[in-house]
């Protein structure tokens, strides 16, 4: 499964009934990294009324967390998370900071305000697609190597390791989206005389 990641940090600001909202999306690579970045944002905006947040980590298995940070339950963290999910964004932390303007927005108004600010910062952010990667080991006869190498590169794959004895042995990485076609084509090229072994981990 592919998903989208923010290329850089990005910020957007909105204002509703004198309350100021500052949205910030930050690329992160792990839960620990997300917690460190969140702490930094909270420190930067420590004078704010609330720093509500959500993150979705995909590297090493999906991990999702969110928090309303003392706003009424369900009005902040969940709308922020839903904004992340609706664009299929991963490996990202999104924080919406609120400076209270003196006028209460109500449950529905709060939820819309956090959601809209999250969507604003996502809309401003440049996203790039990240494909899930498969690791495979291949064993085949020497005579097929030129064709397999050519098709591997056309399939956006890469050779991580190669060894030559009775058979050619490759360890490769290849995007999940092209893997099925690649395996089928390689089987045809080698006329079935091909061994492909999945390597655990992505």
What pLDDT score was predicted for residue 134?
87
| 188 in the same domain as 157 | yes
pLDDT higher than threshold 50 for residue 202: no
| 124 in the same domain as 66 | yes
| 157 in the same domain as 73 | no
Total domains in the fold of the chain = 2
d(CA 148, CA 181) in angstroms, rounded, equals: 13
Q: What's the half-sphere exposure (Cβ side, CA atoms, 13 Å) at 101? A: 12
pLDDT higher than threshold 90 for residue 176: no
| 108 in the same domain as 135 | no
| 123 in the same domain as 154 | no
Model confidence over 86-144: pLDDT tens digits?
Answer: 999 999 999 999 999 888 899 999 999 999 999 999 999 999 988 778 899 999 999 99
Res. 2 pLDDT band, cuts 50 70 90: confident
Q: Could you tell me the CATH number of the domain that includes residue 180?
A: 3.30.70.240
Residue 96 in 3-state DSSP? strand
d(CA 93, CA 11) in angstroms, rounded, equals: 12
| 191 in the same domain as 117 | no
| 161 in the same domain as 86 | no
Residue 183 domain boundaries:
131-198
pLDDT higher than threshold 80 for residue 50: yes
Average pLDDT of every residue of the chain: 93
Q: Is 128 exposed, middle or buried (0-12, 13-18, 19+ CB in 10 A)?
A: exposed
What pLDDT score was predicted for residue 101?
86
| 119 in the same domain as 141 | no
pLDDT higher than threshold 70 for residue 9: yes
| 111 in the same domain as 140 | no
Report residue 179 as tokens.
């893997």
d(CA 12, CA 30) in angstroms, rounded, equals: 24
| 22 in the same domain as 115 | yes
Arithmetic mean of pLDDT, 167-180 = 91
What pLDDT score was predicted for residue 200?
67
Q: Could you tell me the CATH number of the domain that includes residue 62?
A: 3.30.230.30
| 80 in the same domain as 114 | yes
Report residue 40 as tokens.
């930094």
Which of 129, 148, 173 is where one domain is finished? 129
| 140 in the same domain as 102 | no
């Amino acid at each position: 499964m592919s998903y989208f990641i923010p290329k850089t940090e990005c910020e957007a600001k909105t204002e509703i009934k004198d309350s100021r909202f500052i949205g910030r999306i930050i690329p992160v690579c792990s839960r620990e990294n997300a917690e460190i970045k969140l702490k930094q944002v909270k420190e930067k905006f420590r004078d704010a009324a609330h720093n509500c947040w959500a993150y979705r980590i995909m590297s090493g298995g999906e991990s999702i967390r969110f928090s309303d940070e003392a706003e009424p339950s369900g009005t902040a963290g969940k709308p922020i998370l839903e904004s992340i999910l609706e664009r299929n964004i991963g490996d990202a932390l999104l924080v919406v900071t609120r400076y209270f303007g003196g006028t209460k927005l109500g449950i529905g108004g709060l939820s819309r305000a956090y959601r809209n600010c999250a969507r604003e910062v996502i809309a401003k952010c440049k996203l790039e697609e990240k494909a899930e990667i498969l690791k495979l080991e291949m064993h085949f006869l020497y005579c097929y190597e030129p064709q397999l190498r050519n098709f591997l590169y056309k399939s956006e794959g890469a050779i991580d390791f190669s060894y030559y004895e009775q058979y050619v042995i490759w360890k490769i990485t290849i995007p999940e989206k092209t893997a099925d076609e690649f395996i089928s084509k390689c089987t045809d090229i080698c006329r079935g005389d091909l061994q492909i072994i999945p390597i655990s981990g992505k």
